[in-house]
Structure 1
C-alpha cells in the first residue's frame, strides 16, 4: 500500500476530528477549553470542505456547490454559539457535522 500525501492528510484530519470532538464534550469547569476546541472544530470543517470542493474539476459545478453547502451546519453552529455567548451541545454537533459532511463529500465526490 502506497502512502500518498492525500492519504496521510486524511489520516491527520480524521485523527484531529476525533481529538477535537472528544475535547469539546469532555465536561470541564474551564469554558475557554470548550471555546478553543469548538473554534478548532470549525476550522477543521472549513479546511476539509475547502479541500473537497477545490479538488473537483471545473465541469462538476453541481458537486462543487454541494461540497460548499457542507459549510451550512458550521454557520448555524457559529450563529448559535454567538447568540448564546458560549457553544452549547447543538452548536458543537453542527460543527462536527460540518467535518463529517466534508469528509464524506471528499470521498464520494472527489
Structure 2
C-alpha cells in the first residue's frame, strides 16, 4: 500500500532531469528543411558511417548526458522499430506517454535523422 503513495514522488524524480534540461536549452536556430525521399523516409542512407557518427556524437553530448545515459539500452539489439516512428518520437517528444520533451525545435530534421541513424546502428530494425 505504501508503494502507491510513493509513485507520484518517483514519477516526479524521473521527469525532473528532462524538465530541467528543457529549461536550459539554448534557443534553436531556424529549422532547415530537409527533403525526405518520396516514401517520406530519411533524406540519406541510415547506414552512412558519417551520419551514424554525427548522430552518436549528438546523442552522447545531449541525450546521454541529461536523460538516457551513455548506453541507449532501449535500442541495443532492438528489432522491428520503424525509423519514422523513432524520428517522430524525437521530434515531437513522448506526448504524455513518457517525460521526453520534443526536440523538433532544437534539432534540425537532418540532425534528428542522424540520431535515428545512430540508434538504428545499435539494433536490427
The verdict on a shared fold, with TM-score over 0.5 as the criterion, is: no
TM-score normalised per structure 2? 0.26
- RCO comparison, higher one (Cα < 8 Å, 6+): 2
Which has the higher Rg, Structure 1 or Structure 2?
Answer: 2
**Structure 1 or 2: more helix by fraction:** 1
